[in-house]
Structure 1
């Protein structure tokens, strides 16, 4: 079946299935399980009203259980076992406890990946939030601010792999003496007169080259959220600061930022979660070579290249353990903002 037709059929079946489920389940509830008639009519109506919300929640709970809870439990199990292929071709999983975690922590590549992830955590959320806040403030002060916001937000519409390909061309290096199609090397050769550099192979600095891609993408997200927060600041506080003689910098740093600090934290932690799971950019640009390995790429290498499901699952659990506290904190702050 053609992919477009298959997608259309899937949407129709999905929507139709949901409508059919809600319709039939409510009919069954009202007519067969708790019918609103007879001597227990009042009690049945109350019971039906208690059960009805769970009918609507059931598809979401079922999907979360199948696609979220079960994979987590299965990953924990795999991280504590070793996959063994028997002589007859069958596969068994032998319990090995924390041996996979010990093996993972004994590998230099794991610590390289963990160190790089920590560096990403420091740089990317800070720069993305700072640039997003700066863009939100400046675009609100110019007449063509909406156009500027659209241009800044545009990278959010590009997939991580697509953005990686674009920036790989920016960093591209051609042999000396030939025309450079990579913008960075073209500028570098023009001003310095030196030979073009293979930027993605330079240890330490190449990680920052990769981080720029994610900062470029996430700045638009931070700008949109923070721009809405800035617009929500009461004008009276700004006007009072102007009357008291505050300059624009004092208004921005001492009046506006304190009032949107909760939103800044939410944006920061949201980008932090994205950073902890970063995979596509590293995979498409360096594949973890030249000391650019990150945890998600390390997990992929173990699972699908080394076929070591135990260590790969252990790496997945490390990522989940790092993400969970930040996710909980993010939800807590988001709910506090809503009160």
Structure 2
């Protein structure tokens, strides 16, 4: 008996009744109505309550509502015939997450794309005028140039230092201590890292310098500098140092794990053939961990394209340090120009998406998912 006949018999033995169809519509609709009523309550009624009560009510409504909706859907699907349950049940688990992603990511992306074709007030369709502005206005071109610095120099330095430290630390007796110290900056936020380095680069016109870098320069007889403002365009590279400081630990941890996966037999055979450590590194280790290097590199590229916190804390985008994200923020919230701001966001999305797609394809080729 072929598969089609078996499936037909299963459907005939366990039919999908009209009651099940009615419940399939009624229960999700009821869950949506309950969620909407909870939203209206939190918006219109709970607004007069103390902030703590509002927060507790929002958490209870959000978590409790989604949990109750999931239980209702699970109960509904559990009563389906087996041949229906096999097809529908995966969507019960994946569906809410997909719906949430659509609500929080996909729909806002479409709305942002629509706004990018409108003028500053959002009242008139201007076509591609905002895109022309993004690629011709001097400040925006400067921001793109600076982002290229962050992507190329920041990514290369982070991966290179991470790889170098991973190799050296694996051969040290103090491996755990060294890796902990290098990874520690990764544990703090970019804002905190910016505050720390702001004190390092700090400059005062007075004779006594409280910034660490200027204090060292002055101690050796040099002239203190306003590193993040007057030293242009070198101030961009001084900001990139902060990203390298935070991302080197991330690269080191992943690359170190990959290096430990290199078969010792290959390295021993290379040594017996007379290969030096440097030759073994470039001819065996690098090719073996190539996919990990690519994954780390693409991840840091995405991070550097979205860089915002460090620049805002250190310079606020002044002194020629603008990047795409700071310009998006200023156009939208400072200049009240949602058209250009949305256009910058779409341009950034277009740049980031190919990198993410490449990363996912690489992950799929390694068997990460089907």
TM over 0.5: yes
CA RMSD across the alignment: 1.9
Contact 2:324 2:348 in 1 (8 A): yes
1:194 aligns with 2:222: yes
Tell me, in whole angstroms, the C-alpha distance in 2 between the residues paired with 1:73 and 1:22. 28
CA deviations on 1:72-119 (whole Å, 9 max, x unpaired) are 1011000001243xxxxxxx5321111111223331001100111111
Q: Cα offset for 1:15?
A: 5.0
Tell me, in whole angstroms, the C-alpha distance in 1 between the residues paired with 2:212 and 2:148. 29
Which of 124, 131, 138 is residue 108 of structure 1 equivalent to?
A: 138
Summarize the alignment of residues 168-187 of structure 1 with structure 2, pairs less than 5 Å apart: 168-178=198-208, 180-187=209-216
Tell me, in whole angstroms, the C-alpha distance in 1 between the residues paired with 2:76 and 2:356. 39
Change in Cα spacing, 1:177 to 1:302, as seen in structure 2 (3 Å) is: same
Summarize the alignment of residues 44-63 of structure 1 with structure 2, pairs less than 5 Å apart: 44-63=81-100
Summarize the alignment of residues 158-307 of structure 1 with structure 2, pairs less than 5 Å apart: 158-178=188-208, 180-191=209-220, 193-201=221-229, 202-307=231-336
Tell me, in whole angstroms, the C-alpha distance in 2 between the residues paired with 1:301 and 1:219. 29
Q: Cα offset for 1:219?
A: 0.4
Tell me, in whole angstroms, the C-alpha distance in 2 between the residues paired with 1:75 and 1:210. 30
Tell me, in whole angstroms, the C-alpha distance in 2 between the residues paired with 1:132 and 1:124. 12
Q: Cα offset for 1:17?
A: 4.2
Contact 1:176 1:196 in 2 (8 A): no
Q: Which residue of 2 aligns with 1:37?
A: none
Gaps of 5+ in 1: 35-43, 85-91
CA deviations on 1:271-308 (whole Å, 9 max, x unpaired) are 00000100111111111111111111111110000000
CA deviations on 1:7-33 (whole Å, 9 max, x unpaired) are 7776666554444333221212233xx
The 3-state SS of whatever aligns with 2:124 is strand
Q: Which residue of 2 aligns with 1:20?
A: 68
1:312 aligns with 2:341: yes
Change in Cα spacing, 1:186 to 1:75, as seen in structure 2 (3 Å) is: same
Change in Cα spacing, 1:271 to 1:7, as seen in structure 2 (3 Å) is: farther
Q: Which residue of 1 aligns with 2:365?
A: 336
CA deviations on 1:294-323 (whole Å, 9 max, x unpaired) are 111111110000000101111111111111
Contact 2:118 2:125 in 1 (8 A): yes
- Which structure: larger Rg? 2
Contact 1:185 1:197 in 2 (8 A): yes
CA deviations on 1:108-152 (whole Å, 9 max, x unpaired) are 001100111111111011000001111111111112211211111
Tell me, in whole angstroms, the C-alpha distance in 1 between the residues paired with 2:164 and 2:339. 45
Tell me, in whole angstroms, the C-alpha distance in 2 between the residues paired with 1:243 and 1:52. 57
Contact 2:120 2:340 in 1 (8 A): no
Tell me, in whole angstroms, the C-alpha distance in 2 between the residues paired with 1:187 and 1:321. 43
Change in Cα spacing, 1:275 to 1:134, as seen in structure 2 (3 Å) is: same
What TM-score results when the alignment is normalised by the length of structure 1?
0.89
Gaps of 5+ in 2: 1-49
What TM-score results when the alignment is normalised by the length of structure 2?
0.81
The 3-state SS of whatever aligns with 2:320 is coil
